[in-house]
Homo-oligomer: A and B are copies of this chain.
Amino acid sequence: MLIRWGHTQVICAVTCEENVPRWMKEQNVEGGWLTAEYSMLPYSTLTRKSRDISRGKLDGRSQEIQRLIGRSLRSVVDLKRLNGKTFYVDCDVLQADGGTRTASITGSYVALKLAVARLLAEEKIQEDPVIKSVAAVSVGVINGIPMLDLNYEEDSTAEVDMNLVMTSAGEFCELQGTGERITFSPNDLQKMLDLGREGITKLNQLQEQILAD
C-alpha cells in the first residue's frame, strides 16, 4: 500500500515467508519473526540520492530506521502465533518531505493487518497475531515552541526531534527524543508527549477507516 503523509509518499509492503532467521533455529526459539527494511528511492529527494548498492553499504540512518520499524511492529505482534513464519515489512520512500520513519510505521501497521487478513482467509494462520494497534508521530520544538509535526522536514530548523510510537490504548512502544546540538527541558518533554498523544489518536482513526473499507 502507498501511504501519503503531506508530500511524503512511502510504499509499505508486507510479505510472509515460511522460514525464520538462522539465530532462531540455532537457539531453538519457538514462534516466528518480523523484520523490516527501509530504503529511499533515488528520486525521493530534491537532489537525486544515490542507491545503497552504489555506495556499497546501507547508511547508518537507514539502518536505524529499519530497526525502529521492526521493533515497533514486533511490540504489537504475538510472535508465538507466527509459528515458523517471518513477516518482511518493506518500506520504500517514493517522495521524502519529512516524517518518513513515522509514516513507514503507521502505514506498515495497515499493510500488516491486510496481509494477516489474507493469511487468515487462506487459513495459513489460525489466529490474528496482531494484538494491539500501533502508529507513530514526530513532535518537535521549533523556535522554542513544541509542535506536532506531521509535515516536518528532517533537516529543517527544528531544534528537538522526538518520535513517538504508541498503541491506540496510549501505551508507548518506542520513544526517541534527540536535541541534535541542543538540549531540552522536562517541561518541553511533557508538552511534546501531550501533542504526540493527540496525533496518535487521529492516526488510529485513519488506520481504522482504511481497514474498514
- Which A positions have Cβ atoms within 8 angstroms of B? 11, 13, 15, 17, 37, 39, 41-43, 47-48, 51-54, 56-58, 60, 63-64, 67, 71, 74-76, 79, 88, 90, 92, 94, 132, 162, 167, 170-186, 189, 193
User: Is there an interface contact between A57 and B60, defined as CB atoms closer than 8 Å?
Assistant: no
User: Is there an interface contact between B182 and A75, defined as CB atoms closer than 8 Å?
Assistant: yes
**Minimal beta-carbon separation of A207 from chain B (angstroms):** 17
User: Is there an interface contact between B175 and A177, defined as CB atoms closer than 8 Å?
Assistant: yes
User: Is there an interface contact between B193 and A43, defined as CB atoms closer than 8 Å?
Assistant: no
Which residues of chain B have C-beta atoms less than 8 A from A52's C-beta? 51-53
Residue of B43, B54, B60 near A15 (CB, 8 A) is B43
CA A94 – CA B193 in complex, angstroms?
37
Task: Indicate whether A42 sits within 8 Å of B174 (C-beta atoms), given known contacts A64-B67, A67-B60, A180-B71.
Answer: no
Classify the secondary structure of A's interface with B: mixed
Which residues of chain B have C-beta atoms less than 8 A from A92's C-beta? 41, 92
Which residues of chain B have C-beta atoms less than 8 A from A75's C-beta? 179-183
CA A57 – CA B90 in complex, angstroms?
19
CB<8 Å pairs between A and B, sample of 8 = A17-B48, A48-B88, A52-B52, A56-B56, A75-B180, A171-B185, A172-B183, A172-B186
User: Is there an interface contact between B170 and A186, defined as CB atoms closer than 8 Å?
Assistant: yes
Which residues of chain B have C-beta atoms less than 8 A from A56's C-beta? 56
9 new A-B pairs (CB below 8 Å) besides A13-B43, A17-B47? A11-B94, A43-B90, A48-B88, A53-B53, A53-B57, A57-B57, A75-B179, A75-B180, A186-B193
User: Is there an interface contact between A51 and B37, defined as CB atoms closer than 8 Å?
Assistant: yes
A77 (CB) vs chain B CBs: closest residue: B181
Which residues of chain B have C-beta atoms less than 8 A from A41's C-beta? 11, 13, 90, 92
User: Is there an interface contact between A15 and B48, defined as CB atoms closer than 8 Å?
Assistant: yes
CA A11 – CA B172 in complex, angstroms?
34
